[in-house]
Each structure stands twice: as structure tokens, then as C-alpha cells.
Structure 1
């Protein structure tokens, strides 16, 4: 299993918090999101790569992640390009994917990991409950993803596994849809949903999320 943290975007909605670093490298309660993400992923993966773009020079200078993929023209694409680059970098292993602005508990990571072991296909975490504020997935009666986007559905949790069996198919889709959100691929390759508790999930995407994070971190 190879871990990937997607951290190429600017995170412009965060204002001053991301003037010189992407969201994953914001420091909250004494730690960057990246350090928290590494801590929960590393027990489940053999190697960990971070995909960088915006302010990658600053990230490399300050934090020096040993394994990284650089998206040079990051502002021309959406995060489908980031995951595509990661798949090109790692084609012979399962890919444990975590969005750079998401913090989850070990319980959430373990739930995704174990579901992947049991079904042997792509899996994606979601927070149960139909809502329209955040991007969402819809599931069929067997728990497989049928739709993703800004639609009423279960909140996409920014955590999942791309099974190596589907790596070529996923890479082909992402290559053709580089300016889209990568979870769109879950509609076209077999993907099982994994429910996780909202207590095990935190997304920092807006200034108000930063304030909430200061109260909730560390997740336990």
C-alpha cells in the first residue's frame, strides 16, 4: 500500500492562512495538517508521497518531504491532475489517498483499509446523511458509488483507496478529465462506499473551518 496526500492547490478561500503554504501545511494547535495526516496513514502504508504545486518551493524548504510529486502548472488543473500524477508515479501498488485539507482519525483509516481488504476494489469514505452543502456521493443498494458531485447525498470524506487492479482505468479517466475533481472517477470504476463518523473527520476548507479545527484538534 502506498499513501498519497494531495496538497497541490492554493486553498484561496483560507485567505491569509495560505499566503505562503498550501492548506496541508497550515499549522493548527502546534502541528501542520500534513504531520497529522502522516501520523494516521503511516501505520497502513509502506511509503508515503505528497503531491505539491502551489508554493512547493516553500514546502520543500521548510518541511522537506522525502517523497513528492510536483505539479508545475497546478493552477491550470483541478485535483484530478494531482491524483493522475500520483498514479503515474505509483502504478504497481494500491493507493491510499487523502485530501490535503482533511484530517481523520485512525478509526476512519482503519475502516477504509479493512473494507478494501474485504471487497478487493476501490473504496471511498463518506459521512452518512443526505446533505447538499458539501460534495457528495450516492450509493446503490449494494453500497457502490453511482454518482458524485455537488448534489444531495452523503458527504465525500476525502479519503479512499484506488485498487491497483483499476489503476490503468483510473489513470485513463483522470488524464481525460484533468480539470475536474478526482472523485468523479468513483462513478466509472467499481467503488464501494465506507461510512465513517463525523467525529472521525474534519475538513478545513474555509476560515470558519479553521476556527472549528482549533477547538476539535487533535481528533480522538
Structure 2
């Protein structure tokens, strides 16, 4: 399993907070988002690639042995192109993490265990609990198979998932044809199952207020299946 962290954007909604560093390298309660993700990935993946673009020079030496992919046209395209660039150099199953989330080892294990259950036949996408229509959403059928993605009612994307090596080439073709879009568009177009990630095991940094909220919530608590009531 190869992890990809998408960290190329400038995080424009963060204002002055990202004046000199990408959002993934912001300090949150003494540690960067990137450092927190690295800790979660420890012993769970064989290699890590980080896609960098904005302020590349300020953080490329902070990767601690991870591979760097430089996305020079980061301001011209969306994260579909970020992921495509990363997949180009990887021949493996890929655990994808948005660079602006914090999650728990248990949440990552839920993704990987679900992926192993299907032996690579399906991709896996992490979703937050509950149906909503305020954000782009993942829609699934009664069996948990993804059937749609977009500005629709459905599960909010949790910023993490697994793309199977079996579906890598199909995913790359879709991403190449939709470089101005967000990468979750690949999920309804390739065989994908959902995993619900408890909200207690997930936070996302989009605006300056989110930093204060994150400091109040960290460290995140890992729940068991029985505690969360999550059966997918």
C-alpha cells in the first residue's frame, strides 16, 4: 500500500495563515497537519508520496523521507490533476489523504480493512455520517456501492479513500479528462464501496476558525465499531 497526501493548493480560505506555507504544513497545537498524518500512516503503508505546489520550496525539506511530486501548475487545475500526477509514478494500491484533514489510526484501519475484505475488487471511499446537501457528496446504493458524486444530497466525503491497483489506469484516464474537477469523481465511475468514518475521528481545516476548533478537539478519540455504531 502506497499513501498519497494531496497538499498542492494554497488554502486561499485560510487568509494570512497560509501566507508562507501550504495548509498541510500549518501548525495545529504544536504539530503540523502533515506530521499528524505521518504518525497515523506509520506501519500502515510501504511508501508515501506528497503532492506539493504552492510554496514548494518552504516545505520540500520537511517530508522526512517521503517522496515529493511537484505540481507546477497547481493554480490552474483542481486536485484531480494532483492525484493523477501522483498515480502516474505508483504501481500499487493507493491510500489517498487530503492534506487538510486530521484523522485517527482506527479510521485508517477501517478503510484498509474494508479494502482487504474485497481483495482489491473495489476502491474504498471514506464518508462522514448522515445525509447532507450543503457540500459535495457521495451517494451510494443500499449495498454501499458508490453511484454518484457532486452537488447532491448524500454522504460528505471524509477526504480519504483507497484506489485499487486494479482501477488505477481507469482512474487516471478519468482524472486526465477532468483536471478542473475534484478527484472524488472517480468513485462512481469505478467500482467503489463506502466506509463511514465517525465524526469524532475526523476534522478538516478550511478556514481560520477551524484551527481554533481543531485545537479544542485534539487529540482525536478513536472509537470502536460498537461505540460508533458504524457498520457501513
Same structural fold, with TM-score higher than 0.5 when normalized by the shorter chain = yes
Count of residues paired in the alignment: 218
| Displacement of 1:174 | 0.4
- 1:170 matched to which residue of 2? 171
How do 1:144-163 and structure 2 match up within 5 A? 144-163=145-164
Question: Is 1:13 the counterpart of 2:13 in the alignment?
Answer: yes
TM-score normalised over the length of structure 2: 0.91
- 2:77 matched to which residue of 1? 77
TM-score normalised over the length of structure 1: 0.96
Please list the CA deviations of residues 176-216 of structure 1 after superposition, one character each: whole Å capped at 9, or x if unmatched: 11110000110100100001100011011112211211111
After superposing on structure 2, the runs of 4+ consecutive aligned residues of structure 1 that deviate more than 4 Å are: none
| Displacement of 1:41 | 1.4
Alpha-carbon distance between aligned partners in 1 of 2:200 and 2:99, rounded to the nearest angstrom: 18
Structure 1: 5+ residue stretches without partners? none
How do 1:31-42 and structure 2 match up within 5 A? 31-42=31-42
Please list the CA deviations of residues 118-161 of structure 1 after superposition, one character each: whole Å capped at 9, or x if unmatched: 01220000012011222210101110111112222111000100
How do 1:1-220 and structure 2 match up within 5 A? 1-61=1-61, 63-66=62-65, 67-90=67-90, 92-119=91-118, 120=120, 121-220=122-221
| Displacement of 1:217 | 1.6
Instruction: Kindly indicate whether the alpha-carbon contact (under 8 Å) linking 2:138 and 2:156 is maintained by their aligned counterparts in 1.
Output: yes
Structure 2: 5+ residue stretches without partners? 222-232
Instruction: Kindly indicate whether the alpha-carbon contact (under 8 Å) linking 2:60 and 2:68 is maintained by their aligned counterparts in 1.
Output: no
Which deviates more, 158-167 or 130-139?
130-139
- RMSD, aligned CA: 1.0
